[in-house]
A and B are shown apart, each in its own frame.
Chain A
Amino acid sequence: KAGVTQTPRYLIKTRGQQVTLSCSPISGHRSVSWYQQTPGQGLQFLFEYFSETQRNKGNFPGRFSGRQFSNSRSEMNVSTLELGDSALYLCASSLDQGFDGYTFGSGTRLTVV
């Protein structure tokens, strides 16, 4: 059974650009969440999608957005990148019947220069 797949693994972008990260959940998982991990702020919840609808949202500016497709694959987008957006972005998926934890992907390491 394939795990959660995130692409790309590494990304370097310039300040002011935008970026799109992709996540394919475990087959059968319909809930997909995104987390940002930085040395200073730790692991912070970005948003959660279920059946193509954003169900929960963290405290991030509107430059951070996401979406989920009918096959449960998800993308997150960050526009007008800032140096502080450099982080490991983690995607996680879960079953849709009763939350019992997430399975995480290996993450996308974004560096903004």
Chain B
Amino acid sequence: AQSVTQLDSQVPVFEEAPVELRCNYSSSVSVYLFWYVQYPNQGLQLLLKYLSGSTLVKGINGFEAEFNKSQTSFHLRKPSVHISDTAEYFCAVSVQSYKLIFGSGTRLLVRP
């Protein structure tokens, strides 16, 4: 069975600093990987996805993630965060099916 682990429940960071949100997954077969962001009282918004090809994936709002098959990781990065990036971030995996398995989420708290 597939699973997703987000290693940090909360990541505090100062505005304009870089940030990395960590995500590891377990699967014995090829997977699709996703990062979603959730702002308070809203649904999930897709940040980026890895389906195949280049392991470095660029998404919206300046975020990027790197797929590392040997380490089964898909960490999310942003070189300089803004106050408006404060939100909950979810990593998810799909084994080429119409079902997403989510991690427990990481709350990014950007301080001025």
A binding-site residues for B, Cβ under 8 Å: 4, 6, 31, 33, 35, 42-43, 45, 48, 50, 55-56, 58, 90, 92, 94, 99-107, 109
Contacts and interface: CB of A to CB of B under 8 A. Distances in A.
B104 A33 contact: no
Contacts of B96: 99
A105 B96 CA distance: 22
Contacts, number: 58
Given A43-B90, A99-B32, A104 B98 contact: no
Given A90-B43, A101-B49, 4 more contacts: A33-B98, A42-B103, A43-B100, A102-B44
B67 interface: no
Interface in B59-100: 90, 94, 96-100
Contact of A100 (B42, B43, B51): B51
B26 interface: no
Interface of B: 32, 34, 36, 41-46, 49, 51, 90, 94, 96-105
Contacts of B97: 56, 99
A100 B49 contact: yes
**Shortest beta-carbon contacts, A-B, top 9:** A43-B102, A104-B43, A104-B44, A106-B43, A48-B98, A107-B43, A101-B49, A42-B104, A56-B99
B98 A31 contact: yes
